[in-house]
Chain A
């Protein structure tokens, strides 16, 4: 499943741990063979359809295909999904059968940890894997909701995107935000929108500023948080 023209990942250290920031939005920790993804928001499309917005019913398919591609590339021993893996509690039961089978293949292929999030506080045993409130790698905590304070962590929840404007032209793209101690991952899901990195929700997490690793078309760009723009 590896694609030959896959854009290169960017190496950074979070809390001293060497990590690869993948253009898919995932983080791979090579030394421990762990792949981390955040905010898959599976079945967001059907959650909207239930309320009368009949969005194209291909988001779970697209998200699972991207996940399979990334897992196939790194072949990790452990995958940690950092919460909000489903858009709502009823998400797992709405999953179509091809998507259900595709997800089961992934979950069955390695050790799979579902960290719970605010959208999916409970996950049914039928989806396989292990369910946990967080996951620890030494001093580094993997959790859904980032917590301000001196802790080192990998987290999701906020869906960061970075906006860069130069010479009157703007680019808005998903981004990893990190200060070397904490990293907030972009949302992985096909319909998961974004929150501008300049939003005040990020400020308490990075009191000394952050670098945004912005996912471009052909590679990842490291851009200082201070030059980013609001929407």
Chain B
């Protein structure tokens, strides 16, 4: 083995916030104001990497930079939805030093070190100290020269987050998330794969599986349950012995039943269940005025099916750096044409960052907020914004939770600022609305972002909180993670989605392959229905356990929410207001641009029914 050489010193990174001569908006994530400054930086450097948090943000940034690109600098775009060939072209041009800048997403976070990058710009919130260090590290690989980077916040909350991230980088703090423990659905797929590779002996295979770190502590019962699941479904009702996929032979070894099982395995292998994607194809017409011919023309990349379904023919959107006109969906393809020059694209709604604000950075943001002496370090309107907040409402101490209530447009709002990241806030919102419902305050919906949540009700939630000092502490009580979570969890659409993914990974149902017809409803089975039946008849089944574990960590951040509820016990600061506060404005502005959450399936149906009555009376 080679000797380990520890290198001391090295240049400190040169990283700063991109300061503009004007205030940033209270909400929004696109950073349009920063674009001229970013363009200037690109011009003044050899090669710049511009990181964004989402694909849509990347497309927007790319468009804006080209709008400003009077000097026709070679600026390219790179993200995971683009066609592979196009990505390779960008990478090759970058390596050859032919590009001035590449606008990219997390696809270039790690490992790709081509080109002579001398500047990194990060548009939007950094989300975590380690993430931002990784991105900065893409610039300048010479040890004795500093990596140079700018953080470009897009709204006032992000100014706080960028400041906190800069402070974290200065002390080289790391906040890499803990590795997760092994999932049961993935284990089930591995069991079948192992059997397809050749006969196995149960206890030797168990030892082998535990050599993988995520399965180090796998209990034997769970391992056995996974094998039983693969064999016959693992149901208490032993109905499928005759359909067993794997079985133990007289020699004690487990084998697959026949070659068809192996074939089925190979068609379904993989642990990423992507939403159904449609190819984006630049359509070609057979002649002037003739319809587009499917399967001809260039493929530009892929988009989610759900995205196309929100569009009507003629709508324009930005993809692969071009403004495209949506024409039609044909089987697994979205047919598009180039929009005429000068067309304003209908930019798809910003879905926010997929990475929640890290716990570590959140604590730093709370500390920064709580200390007015630090506000002088916050540029672009953020300091005035916080001073207005302290005059009009209050600034919570670092460990406190600020809850504001106020009326607005015939609704009563409750706004809370836990700073625990989007996932934990969404879960909190779901549980809070259930509790507000029970308190007969008739909640209608809520929005959540990385910093807080806003819920609105028909009932006067502020008056209730004023009249009853125990109301808010009860509402935010830790017991919400007990029965309320259980009740909501099992019924939620999110849980059904997670179950579907687990069912595909574990091999319970087959993947839908490209080109398969969508309407073969007799041949397919809805996993929602399977979920309902399984939950009623075998609530402890391996797949339900797998889905609950997945959802609790990946989608709900239950652990973080639990830590927050315990942290704020006895530390709730309620501020009743007669109108929206400066901090709350930034959340309220998300309504309409973010998805509004809520359960209330019957409420939606009741409103739609009322529309019929109106129609009949009109």
Query: Known interface pairs A57-B239, A57-B240, A190-B533. Does A52 touch B604 (Cβ–Cβ under 8 Å)?
Result: no
B526-545 contacts to A, CB under 8 A, are 526, 529-530, 532-534, 536-538, 541
Let me know if A49 and B260 touch, CB within 8 A.
no
Let me know if A219 and B602 touch, CB within 8 A.
yes
| CA–CA, A58 and B611, complex, Å | 39
Does A78 have its Cβ within 8 Å of any Cβ on chain B?
no
Nearest opposing residue in chain A for B510, CB measure: A53
Q: Which of A13-21, A141-149, A177-185, A193-201 contacts B (4 or more CB under 8 A)?
A: A193-201
Chain B residues near A190 (CB, 8 Å)?
A: 529, 532-533
Query: Known interface pairs A58-B534, A58-B537, A191-B529. Does A217 touch B602 (Cβ–Cβ under 8 Å)?
Result: yes
Does B385 have its Cβ within 8 Å of any Cβ on chain A?
no
Let me know if B525 and A52 touch, CB within 8 A.
no
Chain A residues near B260 (CB, 8 Å)?
A: 52
| CA–CA, A173 and B596, complex, Å | 20
Chain B residues near A59 (CB, 8 Å)?
A: 533
Query: Known interface pairs A62-B533, A62-B537, A193-B526. Does A223 touch B240 (Cβ–Cβ under 8 Å)?
Result: no
Does A138 have its Cβ within 8 Å of any Cβ on chain B?
no
A99 nearest CB across to chain B (Å): 10
A63 nearest CB across to chain B (Å): 9
Does A109 have its Cβ within 8 Å of any Cβ on chain B?
no
Let me know if B541 and A195 touch, CB within 8 A.
no
Q: A155-185 toward B: CB 8 Å interface, digit per residue (1/0)?
A: 0000100001111111101000000000000
| CA–CA, A168 and B245, complex, Å | 43
B581-607 contacts to A, CB under 8 A, are 595-598, 600-602, 604-607
| CA–CA, A48 and B264, complex, Å | 13
Let me know if B525 and A164 touch, CB within 8 A.
no
Chain B residues near A195 (CB, 8 Å)?
A: 519, 521
| CA–CA, A221 and B600, complex, Å | 14
A163 nearest CB across to chain B (Å): 10
Contacting residue for A224 out of B521, B532, B607, B612, CB 8 A: B612
B244 nearest CB across to chain A (Å): 9
B547 nearest CB across to chain A (Å): 13
Nearest opposing residue in chain B for A98, CB measure: B237
Chain B residues near A96 (CB, 8 Å)?
A: 237, 239
| CA–CA, A227 and B605, complex, Å | 11
Chain B residues near A166 (CB, 8 Å)?
A: 604, 607-608
Chain A residues near B309 (CB, 8 Å)?
A: 230-231
Does A126 have its Cβ within 8 Å of any Cβ on chain B?
no
Query: Known interface pairs A171-B605, A223-B605. Does A53 touch B519 (Cβ–Cβ under 8 Å)?
Result: no
A21-79 contacts to B, CB under 8 A, are 44, 46, 48-50, 52-59, 61-62
Let me know if A55 and B598 touch, CB within 8 A.
no
Query: Known interface pairs A44-B525, A216-B601. Does A227 touch B608 (Cβ–Cβ under 8 Å)?
Result: yes
A166 nearest CB across to chain B (Å): 5
Let me know if B522 and A211 touch, CB within 8 A.
no
| CA–CA, A194 and B609, complex, Å | 21
A: number of interface residues (CB 8 Å): 47
A21 nearest CB across to chain B (Å): 14
Chain A residues near B607 (CB, 8 Å)?
A: 166
Does A222 have its Cβ within 8 Å of any Cβ on chain B?
yes
Contacting residue for B243 out of A50, A222, A223, CB 8 A: A50
Does B232 have its Cβ within 8 Å of any Cβ on chain A?
yes
Does B564 have its Cβ within 8 Å of any Cβ on chain A?
no
Does B436 have its Cβ within 8 Å of any Cβ on chain A?
no
| CA–CA, A223 and B509, complex, Å | 33
Does B66 have its Cβ within 8 Å of any Cβ on chain A?
no
Chain B residues near A219 (CB, 8 Å)?
A: 602
Query: Known interface pairs A52-B261, A53-B508, A191-B530. Does A221 touch B606 (Cβ–Cβ under 8 Å)?
Result: yes
Does B233 have its Cβ within 8 Å of any Cβ on chain A?
yes
| CA–CA, A222 and B595, complex, Å | 26
A189 nearest CB across to chain B (Å): 9
Chain B residues near A168 (CB, 8 Å)?
A: 595-596
Contacting residue for A164 out of B264, B510, B529, B604, CB 8 A: B604
A12 nearest CB across to chain B (Å): 13
B448 nearest CB across to chain A (Å): 14
| CA–CA, A56 and B530, complex, Å | 7
Q: B70-90 toward A: CB 8 Å interface, digit per residue (1/0)?
A: 000000000000000000000
| CA–CA, A219 and B609, complex, Å | 12
Does B221 have its Cβ within 8 Å of any Cβ on chain A?
no
Let me know if B533 and A58 touch, CB within 8 A.
yes
Let me know if B541 and A199 touch, CB within 8 A.
no
Does A100 have its Cβ within 8 Å of any Cβ on chain B?
no
Query: Known interface pairs A193-B524, A217-B602. Does A46 touch B233 (Cβ–Cβ under 8 Å)?
Result: no
Does A119 have its Cβ within 8 Å of any Cβ on chain B?
yes
Does B483 have its Cβ within 8 Å of any Cβ on chain A?
no
A101-143 contacts to B, CB under 8 A, are 119
| CA–CA, A159 and B524, complex, Å | 13
Does A3 have its Cβ within 8 Å of any Cβ on chain B?
no
Let me know if B233 and A54 touch, CB within 8 A.
yes
Let me know if A218 and B612 touch, CB within 8 A.
no
Does A81 have its Cβ within 8 Å of any Cβ on chain B?
no
Chain A residues near B598 (CB, 8 Å)?
A: 169
Does B3 have its Cβ within 8 Å of any Cβ on chain A?
no
A180 nearest CB across to chain B (Å): 14
Chain A residues near B602 (CB, 8 Å)?
A: 216-219, 221
Does B445 have its Cβ within 8 Å of any Cβ on chain A?
yes
| CA–CA, A50 and B296, complex, Å | 40
| CA–CA, A46 and B232, complex, Å | 12
| CA–CA, A185 and B161, complex, Å | 55
Chain B residues near A193 (CB, 8 Å)?
A: 521, 524-526, 529
Chain B residues near A159 (CB, 8 Å)?
A: 521
- Further 11 A-B residue pairs, CB within 8 A, beyond A58-B533, A221-B602, A223-B611: A53-B510, A56-B538, A58-B537, A168-B596, A169-B597, A190-B533, A191-B526, A199-B519, A211-B612, A227-B608, A227-B611
Please provide the 9 A-B residue pairs with the shortest distance between their CB atoms, ordered closest to farther: A54-B233, A57-B239, A221-B605, A58-B537, A193-B526, A56-B534, A216-B602, A221-B609, A49-B243
23 A–B pairs (Cβ distance < 8 Å), ordered by A:
A46-B240, A52-B260, A53-B508, A54-B233, A54-B240, A55-B509, A56-B233, A56-B538, A57-B239, A58-B534, A164-B604, A165-B604, A166-B604, A167-B445, A167-B596, A168-B596, A169-B600, A173-B601, A191-B525, A193-B525, A195-B519, A199-B519, A217-B601
